Structures are given as structure tokens and as C-alpha cells.
Structure 1
Amino acid sequence: MRAFRQLAVQILQFRGEMCEPLKTKVLRLPPAGGDGPFVPEEDVAAVLSRTATALRDGRVVAVPTDTIYGLACLAQNSAAVRRIYDIKGRDEQKPLAICVGEIHDIYKYCRVKVKEDLLRDLLPGPVTLVLERSQVLNRELNPFTALVGVRIPDCAFIRRLCQMCGEPLALTSANVSAQSSTVAAHEFEDLWPELAVVVDGGPIGDRSRLGSTVVDLSAPGRYRIIRAGRAFSSTVDVLEGKYGLASEELG
């Protein structure tokens, strides 16, 4: 009887722990422009480690990029992907992009129909390339489309984070759906209770608020601008001037 009571107490304690609100860790990095106080490399490594651990545990985190702040989870974790949609109140028919650390990672998760030099001319940078997805990518991520947007931000922290995790991140803007994108961590403070980690890299700057330029490169010899964001003009110059791709109007 005593053993039964002890077991009942343990079950109640476990249920109580499961019902406790998520305790968000706010971890600070040097500002993107490098204007802040010096932060030792071991401190950056500690932030990377704690963020990667949260991701591997199936949690959602907030991270700075080269354009805006984003919400991220492991793209291969279907439960974590669903959690991002819940946090944002996002329409499940709107896709999430993936973020990888290196150019060669793109070939694992996508079918690439452009020259590798073109990828290297645009990435890392504030551009999302929409490509045909491969069979390796989680089928429950954007199951309604054969395409996926891929990012390699010009942000050392998030690229190193992808490398530590060894798989792509699902990435979307750190805001409630239909609200303005965010360029400082305090701007999405209402979402903090839903996140395991908030990596505060300081203000990114209003010029970034447009987000990345999104370009569809899934058709050979052609490109289609889905969204004109940061680096729009220079992206078009590369696609047309250097590689001779023809523009396809968004229909």
C-alpha cells in the first residue's frame, strides 16, 4: 500500500512538472555589427551548445539572421514543425523555409538545377532560393508542395548552429502571423514564453525588415521573383547578367 502511495505521488509530481510553463532562456550575443562589448569565443560556443541542445530536444528557439529574427526548429522533427505553426498562428498551407550551414548541404535536401557557382554568388546572403525538394527532406514539412525555400544567412552564428545540429533548421519570421517582422528580440517578447531559447544578437536594423529576396530557381534556365526583399537588385544582376537566366512573371 505504501509503495502504491509513493507511486501515486511520483505520478502527480511528474504531471505537475509537465504542466509548468516553459522557462525561456535568453542568451545574448555580440550585436550583428560588432559594435557591442567583446564576447569571448567560449561564451559564443556556450550559447551555440545550449541552443543546439534545445533544438535536439524538439524545442522551438528564436535566432538572429542577416535580415530579421526567426523562429527555428529541426526541419526533420515533425512535432517541432507543428509547434512553430501553433506559436505563430500560421496557416498550415503557408510553407516554412529550411536553413543549412554550407552550400553542399543544399544538394542533400534539394534537387539543384543551376550551377554551383550561382549558389555561391548568392549565398551566404539575404536570399531564399526555392528549389525542388529531395526525398531526404521530411515529408511532413510543407507536404502540399514539391518545392522548398533554402537559406544560408550571412550570419556566422546560425550557420554554425546548423553545422552543430547536423541537419537543416525549419525557419520562419519571429512574429505572430500577419504582424510585422522583427529586427530586435524585444519586438517579439510576447512569444518568449513559448520558446525554449531566445538568442539575442542585438538590433539588426530597420533596413532588414523587408526580409530576404525569395527567388524560384526550380525551372532550368529561368527564375521567378516571389518576394523582392534585401539584395533584390544585386540578385537580379547575378541571375540575368552573369548567368543569363530569363525572368518568369509571377502568375
Structure 2
Amino acid sequence: MARARVGTGTITRASRPVRARCARGRTTTRRRKVDAAAGKPRIATVARGRRGRGVEDGGGTPSRAMFVEMDLDLVGLEGERWKLDAVAEAIRRGAVGAIPTDTKYAFVADMSNASAVQKLYDIKGCGYNKPLSILCRGFADIDAYTTGFPKNVKPGETLPFKLAKKCLPGPYTFILPASKELPKVCLGDNSTKEKAKQCKSRKTVGVRIPDCDVTRALLDLLDAPLMCSTVPECDDEPAVIYDEYLSRGLGFMIDTGERRASAASTVVDLSSGEPRILRRGAGDPNVWSSIDEEELVESDDDAAWGFA
């Protein structure tokens, strides 16, 4: 086996690729990486020639950012779950990192931490007027941070909530009116008059319940939802994403293996009551059969921008 030094540890690379899974029905290929001494999967905290920002600064650890490798096919999620402890602790201290979902890689941050949410915008390099979405543990989180799914429908039509239950967990983002429980920073940074003007009209938020075991395990560990936004270079290898954003303050990267390029989530706007699909994505839009096919949008527009 060939040996390669990553960060402070030595690993071995098996000669044959193995299959790794993020969520049901999605498989990926990558090289197996194990600890040279113990023969066990390892968590790597790597610098790749540059030092990350410490936890106190919103990074992954006091000394450097974290690159966390999870080989789910080798030992399963239960055997790798312990690696999420350090990630959860980093998030609690304000770190912003990148994680896999059932669609694309996403930047995530503690939605109750205003500086962390602003840092997410800064790391991605986008304006505060761009919408973010919430990775939820379940419908209880959706009920807490939005006013809920619309109940007024035309006679004979199915309630949006019942349709949403068919779609979730899954690759859908639903845009709903935000409740008073949602931190204001999640609707835009109002720290200056200019930013307040920029975000004045935004009173909605996107919500997701991802069908990804790693994502959901992290949410359960945190016992809280996360603010998220798509990683632009999500089709790149995790190590490339890590290198690209480390200098901007990325605190951690979770690598579950090189994945096939996947579509973003299907975005359904329910904020005005009548369902409107803003983006055709991985989720089947035909579930929302009352929507005219001509209304479907093939590419990311401003309204759907940023949703994983």
C-alpha cells in the first residue's frame, strides 16, 4: 500500500476504491483511508499548507480547521458517528463548515449565532440579501420557525402539508413565511441602514428535511436545526472545497467520499398560499400536480439562489 502524509498523521490508501453512501439510493466512489497503526478509520485534522482559524475565531479546533473523513461503507454510520462530536462542538462555538446533504454540499452555521450566520455569507462571498435555508430535524422545526404550510386551498385540492409529508425527508426546499421565532439575522443582516434596506422585503425562509444519514445525525447531535447555503463548487472533491475556503475561515469539512454530481433541491414557494415551483431539482415536481409545467424553472434564479 502507498503511504501518504496528511496533516500530522500517516495514512494508508487501499489500492481498490470502495463504495460509500450518504443517503438511501445514493452511492459514491472513493479511496479507503485508514490509520496506519491501528487499521481503523480516522478523523484527519489537516492544514494542507495553511493553518485554519481556531474555535475561538470560528474555526474547527483551537489550532486548525478540521477535515473529517467518514468511511460509511467500511464500518457504517454507527462506527463513524463519534467523528461528528468534534464537528458539533465547533458549530456550537461559532464555526462555519461544509457538510454533505442528499443533494449538494452545503455550508452550515448555528442559526442562533448571528456572527456565525454572517460568517457563512462572508465565506460564500455573497450579499446579505441572498436567501438561506434551514436544515430541519423534522416538521416540528418547520412549525417553530415558520407560520406553517398554507391551509386555504381550492375545493378538491390536497393540502400542501399532506403533499410535503410525501416529499420529506427528501430533496425539496419549501419557502414559507418566517415566524417570530426565527432569528432576524437569518432573514438578512440589519446591522446597517444599507443592509436593512437591502433585506427589508424578505420575510420568508426556505426549509429542508434532508434524507442524508450524516446530516440528520449531526442535527440530532446538536438538537437544533442549522442555517445552510449551497457550496458553489459542490461538484469538486471535498479536499478541493476545503482548500478553496480554508483561507476565508472555513472551520471544517465532512468528507463521505467522492460523489456523483447531483442536482440541487426542488424549490417550492408556498409563501403566498398558492404553490409555485421556482426551481426544478432532484425532487419530483409532479407531486405538485396542480402546478403548470410551464412554470418550472430549469436554472437557479435569484429567488432560488443559495438553496442546497
Q: Quick check: TM above 0.5?
A: yes
What is the number of equivalent residue pairs in this alignment? 218
Deviation at 1:39, TM superposition (A): 4.1
Structure-2 change in CA distance of 1:130 and 1:80 (3 Å): same
Q: Per-residue displacement from partner, 1:14-37 (whole Å, max 9, x unpaired)?
A: xxx979996111111235xxxx42
Q: Which has the higher helix share?
A: 1
Counterpart check, 1:130 vs 2:130: no
Deviation at 1:200, TM superposition (A): 0.5
- In 2, distance between residues paired with 1:166 and 1:127? 22
SS in 2 for 1:140: helix
Corresponding letter in the other structure for 2:266: T
Deviation at 1:248, TM superposition (A): 9.3
Decide whether the 8 Å contact of 1:26 with 1:200 is kept in 2: yes
Deviation at 1:154, TM superposition (A): 0.9
- In 1, distance between residues paired with 2:294 and 2:135? 25
Percentage identity across paired residues of the two chains? 31
Counterpart check, 1:43 vs 2:43: no
Highest RCO, 1 vs 2 (Cα 8 Å, sep ≥ 6): 1
Corresponding letter in the other structure for 2:240: E
Q: Per-residue displacement from partner, 1:206-233 (whole Å, max 9, x unpaired)?
A: 2x1x31111101222x2112122212xx
Counterpart check, 1:173 vs 2:235: no
Aligned to 1:23: 64
Aligned to 1:239: 288
SS in 1 for 2:123: helix
Q: Which runs of 5+ in 1 are unaligned?
A: 1-16
SS in 2 for 1:101: coil
Aligned to 1:224: 276
Structure-2 change in CA distance of 1:218 and 1:18 (3 Å): closer
Structure 1 segment 154-169 matched on structure 2, within 5 A:
154-169=211-226
Aligned to 1:204: 259
SS in 2 for 1:73: strand
Decide whether the 8 Å contact of 2:56 with 2:93 is kept in 1: no
Deviating more after overlay: 130-139 vs 166-175: 166-175
- In 2, distance between residues paired with 1:61 and 1:219? 33
- In 2, distance between residues paired with 1:196 and 1:22? 11
Corresponding letter in the other structure for 1:121: K
Q: TM-score, normalised by structure 1?
A: 0.77
Decide whether the 8 Å contact of 2:138 with 2:209 is kept in 1: yes
Deviating more after overlay: 180-189 vs 88-97: 180-189
Decide whether the 8 Å contact of 2:276 with 2:291 is kept in 1: no
Decide whether the 8 Å contact of 1:101 with 1:152 is kept in 2: yes
Structure-2 change in CA distance of 1:24 and 1:119 (3 Å): same
Deviation at 1:148, TM superposition (A): 0.3
Decide whether the 8 Å contact of 1:223 with 1:246 is kept in 2: no
Decide whether the 8 Å contact of 2:277 with 2:291 is kept in 1: no
SS in 2 for 1:105: helix
Structure-2 change in CA distance of 1:185 and 1:146 (3 Å): same
What RMSD over aligned residues (CA atoms) do the two structures have, in Å? Answer: 2.7
Q: TM-score, normalised by structure 2?
A: 0.64
Structure 1 segment 76-95 matched on structure 2, within 5 A:
76-95=112-131
- In 2, distance between residues paired with 1:184 and 1:133? 34
SS in 2 for 1:26: strand
Aligned to 1:14: none
SS in 1 for 2:74: coil
Deviation at 1:110, TM superposition (A): 0.8
Q: Per-residue displacement from partner, 1:174-215 (whole Å, max 9, x unpaired)?
A: 23xxxx433531331311342222111112212x1x311111
Corresponding letter in the other structure for 1:237: N
